[in-house]
Structure 1
């Protein structure tokens, strides 16, 4: 199993709205991908910014390519993210889950 980890940040006033967007749009998008296992969606407020960490779990790297494209290490964004995110981190991290 492979864990894919993404981080993003918003203005604190967009914290709840972005959370709702992720629940309604992003999470269903992940869940409909064959080979998706589960996710952990974490958030906190730090230095007056909303921070989001999304950890998704996938069967293997091929499944991630089906979701994210051939350049699977590149972060996947939604058009609506432009309204919320303060910056667009270019890459995500992948880890082999062994326990």
Structure 2
């Protein structure tokens, strides 16, 4: 199993907007029809002047990751409406193999 991990930060007053947008619109749209997609974990942490979100997409294999993200699978997939709510975000993602 492969974990695809990405981080982004919002202003505190945009955190709920991002959470709602991600859960209700972005997640269903970007994962629809992706074979080998398992689930997504969305983590949230108050980071002082910002709220940090860590997103972990779980896939069965790197082939499934590539189906989701395309040829440039190490690049973050950050839709424009998400970018508007972020103060900053990681332009790349990290992939980890789950061993336990």
TM range (shorter): over 0.9
Distance 2:83 2:43 in 1: 20
Distance 2:26 2:48 in 1: 25
Runs of 4+ aligned structure 1 residues displaced above 3 Å come to: none
Q: Would you say how many aligned residue pairs link Structure 1 and Structure 2?
A: 99
- Measured after TM superposition, the shift of residue 26 of structure 1 is 2.2
> Residues 44-73 of structure 1: CA distance to partner in whole angstroms, max 9, x if unpaired?
211121110011110111111111111101
- Measured after TM superposition, the shift of residue 98 of structure 1 is 1.1
- RMSD (CA atoms): 1.2
What residue is the counterpart of 2:53 in the other structure?
A: 52
Distance 2:18 2:39 in 1: 20
Q: Which segments of 5 or more consecutive residues in structure 2 lack a partner in the other structure?
A: none
What residue is the counterpart of 1:23 in the other structure?
A: 23
Q: Which segments of 5 or more consecutive residues in structure 1 lack a partner in the other structure?
A: none
TM-score, normalisation: structure 2 = 0.91
